[in-house]
């Protein structure tokens, strides 16, 4: 069965510094992985997706993630945090038998001025 | 283009009452999903419609939950009778027919349900 583990429930960074949100996955075969973001009072928005093409995936708003099979990781990064990046981020794997999404527990990103 | 909409945004009910949540998917999206996040837990899949048919309802917690999608447009999720542990945020998502490939699931803002 597939699963994802987000290693940090909260991450705090200063504006202009790099962001790293960590995610490890478990899957018996090549997974489809995603990062979603939820801003307050908004729906979940897809940031980026990995579906077995390039291992470095670029998403919206300057975010990117690298699929590392040897480490079973799919960490989300951004070179320079912006105040508007403050939100909750979810690492997600798609179930192999259907289109249902399996979510990690979420990481709340705080950006300090 | 309008996104996925959900109604109500908030609902507060007493234990034992009935509540109906509504989801309007993006026009033309055949796939409709329900998820929920109870306090302190992960967002969990409830069920998946393809048009008006239930494709996968493996995540429905028990028979107090009834989901419908008559006519393959909007969907309702009824909880009857509601229990305290049903409190949480209920999300709806929709996607186009992706065949064998993944099509992005677009999420609504959620309905926050509080059972007292």
Confidence band for B1, pLDDT divided at 50, 70 and 90:
low
Cis peptide preceding A102, ω within 30 of 0 = no
Q: Taking CA atoms, what residue in B is nearest to A44?
A: B107
Residue-wise pLDDT tens digits, A84-101: 999 999 999 988 667 889
A35, two tokens: 């990062």
Q: Taking CA atoms, what residue in B is nearest to A50?
A: B102
* List of chain A residues whose C-beta atoms are within 8 Å of the C-beta of residue B58: 100
B-contacting residues of A 27-86, CB under 8 Å?
Answer: 32, 36, 41-46, 49, 51
Q: How many CB atoms lie within 10 A of CB B84?
A: 9
Task: Give the pLDDT score at B102.
Answer: 64
Contact A99 B98 (CB under 8 A): yes
Residue-wise pLDDT tens digits, B41-83: 899 999 999 999 999 999 999 999 999 998 889 999 999 999 9
- Vertex A58: Cα angle to A9 and A53 (nearest 5): 105
Task: Give the pLDDT score at A71.
Answer: 93
Burial of residue A72 (CB within 10 Å: 0-12, 13-18, 19+) is middle
Cis peptide preceding B41, ω within 30 of 0 = no
* List of chain B residues whose C-beta atoms are within 8 Å of the C-beta of residue A42: 109
């Amino acid at each position: 069965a597939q699963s994802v583990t987000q290693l940090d429930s909260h991450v705090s960074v200063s504006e202009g510094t790099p962001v790293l949100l960590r995610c490890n996955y478990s899957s018996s075969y090549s997974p489809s992985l995603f990062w979603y973001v939820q801003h307050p009072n908004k729906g979940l928005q897809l940031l980026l997706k990995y579906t077995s093409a390039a291992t470095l995936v670029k998403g919206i708003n300057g975010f990117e993630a690298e699929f590392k099979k040897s480490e079973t990781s799919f960490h989300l990064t951004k070179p320079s945090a912006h105040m508007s990046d403050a939100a909750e981020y979810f690492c997600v794997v798609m179930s192999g038998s259907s289109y249902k999404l399996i979510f990690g527990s979420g990481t709340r990103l705080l950006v300090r001025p | 283009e309008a996104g996925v909409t959900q109604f109500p945004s908030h609902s507060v009910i007493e234990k034992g009452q009935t509540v109906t949540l509504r989801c309007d998917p993006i026009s033309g999206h055949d796939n409709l999903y329900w998820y929920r996040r109870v306090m302190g837990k992960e967002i969990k899949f409830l069920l998946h419609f393809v048009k008006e048919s239930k494709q996968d309802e493996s995540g429905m917690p028990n028979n107090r939950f009834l989901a419908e999608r008559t006519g393959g447009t909007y969907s309702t999720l009824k909880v009857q009778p509601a229990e305290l542990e049903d409190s949480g945020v209920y999300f709806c998502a929709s996607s186009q027919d992706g065949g064998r490939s993944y099509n992005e699931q677009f999420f609504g803002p959620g309905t926050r349900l509080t059972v007292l």
